[in-house]
């Protein structure tokens, strides 16, 4: 008989289990806790969006739109894209639902995203992000709040060591346009020494040459005109207010005048939290202000700022969470005791304790199995009655005791 080929996972996807899944869940749980401290509301959004949501907002020239999107025609003939990032979908939802009435809105979301990239360590085709946005706030205080929250999150995850906040301003639209023109002129004068990738960027996305990783580009990129010489007074004041806010809140930052974000829609503040611990995939959290995005989608001019962080990359950096042990392990050592065991286990769980019940395999081996779970309290139900021990955890022990006493009292009443 021909052997049936077992199906493989799609390249660039991960099946997470055990420690990998626990690290991932720890990042999400920490984010969910911290975002509530800052009053960010949760969101659940579709994974699929009309393709125009991304092509119109991210810009056709970006890596994401030009080569990374999972786009397909559905059975009704509509062009659909699996979301490659959150911001554009959030902006779409804001317009679809008329959320202008709630502005300014502090929103948070997490979930899967899809990009057709070359898979490697820290780079997948299905990956996951946590994301926070403030929509409808023009003041630098919004940028500061988001950055302080990001800083607290990384500290609570215990990964702030070796991670630095790199900050830049891309100016307002007139400043950014003047800088861009200067950059195109400068890079045109140095065309002969640019890498092939950067020559292509010169046509489509010249700012991106500044953060080229190709050693060939570095000397030219490092000597390129800086935004500072093109900043309007207003843009300077904005950036000054952001940095003053960070200083006041005690958030460390460094200026990186070459920091530009991959997407076209950024204005004013742009930032990345960068680590040297993940090799080439060093950005763990990035974002900035995108005042023009909602207008690009056909909505009213709406200021907004936000950030996103890759959950897989954060999960690689956190310490492995302590492995989870049950509060109680219950060994049913005697077949006829099973109904009594079920009753006790259900009552323990209803009281809020986590319980593992061992009622399979040879009755003689069940107690050993219960010990092996490392449970805080180990209980045996046998023909000798109910016995349990666990003096290292007096709180759990007395809670178990209370549950058993109340079962006994209830039985007495009958
Ligand atoms: P990179 O330069 O690494 O490609 P990017 O600029 O494309 O990053 P963003 O679009 O800003 O990344 O996404 C924010 C964060 O999402 C990144 O800093 C990273 O942590 C994570 N991320 C982006 N792409 C991937 C991917 N393919 N796999 C895993 N994580 C990713
Ligand atoms: Mg990328």
Whether the CB of 284 sits within 6 Å of ligand 1: yes
Rounded to the nearest angstrom, the distance between the alpha carbon of 141 and the centre of ligand 1 is 26
User: What local confidence, expressed as pLDDT, does residue 278 receive?
Assistant: 72
Q: What is the CATH number of the domain that holds 141?
A: 3.30.930.10
- Tokens 């894209």, residue located: 81
pLDDT along the chain (414 residues), means of 10: 88 96 96 98 98 88 86 98 96 96 97 96 95 97 98 94 92 90 93 90 85 88 92 95 98 92 81 84 90 91 96 93 90 90 96 96 92 96 90 94 94 85
Per-residue model confidence (pLDDT) at position 291: 86
Picking from 295, 317, 339, the residue at the C-terminal end of a domain is 317
Atom number in ligand 1 closest to CA 122 = 29
Instruction: Give the number of the ligand closest to the Cα of residue 213.
Output: 1
- For residues 365 and 291, state if they share a domain: no
Domain residues for 347? 328-413
- The reply to whether 247 and 345 lie within a common domain is no
Q: Does the reported pTM lie above 0.85?
A: yes
- Co-location of 133 and 77 in the same domain: yes
Say how far apart CA 220 and CA 217 lie, in whole Å: 6
Closest by alpha carbon to 309, among 281, 329, 351, 336? Answer: 281
Residue corresponding to tokens 């302080």: 148
- Do 37 and 117 share a domain, yes or no? yes
> Are residues 32 and 150 located together in one domain of the fold?
yes
Q: How many domains does the chain have?
A: 2
Give 273 Cα–ligand 1 centroid separation in angstroms.
Answer: 12
- Indicate whether 137 and 266 sit together in one domain: yes
Tokens at residue 243, please? 């940095």
Please tell me the predicted confidence (pLDDT) of residue 1.
Answer: 67
Contact 304, 291 (CB under 8 A): yes
Residue closest via CA to ligand 1's atom 16 equals: 310
For residue 84, the ligand closest to its alpha carbon is: 1
Strand-pair partners of 126: 114
- Burial class of residue 120 (count of CB atoms within 10 Å of its CB; 0-12, 13-18, 19+): exposed
The reported pLDDT for the residue numbered 390 is: 87
**How many A from CA of 7 to the centre of ligand 1?**
28
| Per-residue pLDDT, 10 | 97
Q: Which ligand is nearest to the CA of 117?
A: 1
113 lines ligand 1 (CB under 6 A): no
175 contact partners, CB below 8 Å, separation of at least 6 = 227, 230, 231, 232, 235
Looking at the fold, whether 79 and 118 belong to one and the same domain comes out as: yes
């Amino acid at each position: 008989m021909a052997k049936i080929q077992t199906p493989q996972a799609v390249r660039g996807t991960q099946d997470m289990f055990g420690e990998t899944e626990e690290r991932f869940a720890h990042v999400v749980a920490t984010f969910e806790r911290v975002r509530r401290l800052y009053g960010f509301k949760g969101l659940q959004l579709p994974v699929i969006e009309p393709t125009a949501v991304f092509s119109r907002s991210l810009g056709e020239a970006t890596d994401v739109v030009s080569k990374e999107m999972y786009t397909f025609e559905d059975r009704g003939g509509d062009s659909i894209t699996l979301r490659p990032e959150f911001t554009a979908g959030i902006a779409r939802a804001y317009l679809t639902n008329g959320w202008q009435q709630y502005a300014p809105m502090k929103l948070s979301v997490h979930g899967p995203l899809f990009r057709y990239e070359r898979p490697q360590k820290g780079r997948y085709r299905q990956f996951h992000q946590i994301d926070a946005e403030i929509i409808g706030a023009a003041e630098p205080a919004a940028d500061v709040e988001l950055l302080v929250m990001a800083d607290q999150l990384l500290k609570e995850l215990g990964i702030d060591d070796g991670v630095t906040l790199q900050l830049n301003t891309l100016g307002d639209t007139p400043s950014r346009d003047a800088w861009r023109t200067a950059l195109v002129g400068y890079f045109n004068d140095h065309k002969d020494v640019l890498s092939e990738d950067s020559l292509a960027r010169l046509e489509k996305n010249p700012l991106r040459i500044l953060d080229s990783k190709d050693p060939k580009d570095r000397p030219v990129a490092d000597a390129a005109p800086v935004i500072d010489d093109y900043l309007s007074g207003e843009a300077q004041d904005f950036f000054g207010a952001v940095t003053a806010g960070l200083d006041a809140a005690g958030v460390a930052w460094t200026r990186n005048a070459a920091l530009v974000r991959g997407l076209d829609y950024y204005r004013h503040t742009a930032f990345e939290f960068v680590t040297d611990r993940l090799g080439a995939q060093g950005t763990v959290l990035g974002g900035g202000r995108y005042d023009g995005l909602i207008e690009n989608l056909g909505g009213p001019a709406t200021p907004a700022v936000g950030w996103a962080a890759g959950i897989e990359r954060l999960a690689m950096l956190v310490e492995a969470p302590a492995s989870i042990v049950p509060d109680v392990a219950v060994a049913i050592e005697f077949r006829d005791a099973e109904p009594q065991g079920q009753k006790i286990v259900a009552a323990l769980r209803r009281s809020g304790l986590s319980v593992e019940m061992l009622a399979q395999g040879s009755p003689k081996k069940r107690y050993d199995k219960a010990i092996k779970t490392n449970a805080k309290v180990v209980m045996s139900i046998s023909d000798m009655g109910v016995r349990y021990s666990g003096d290292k955890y007096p709180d759990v022990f007395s809670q178990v005791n209370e549950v058993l006493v109340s079962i006994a009292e209830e039985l007495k009443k009958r």
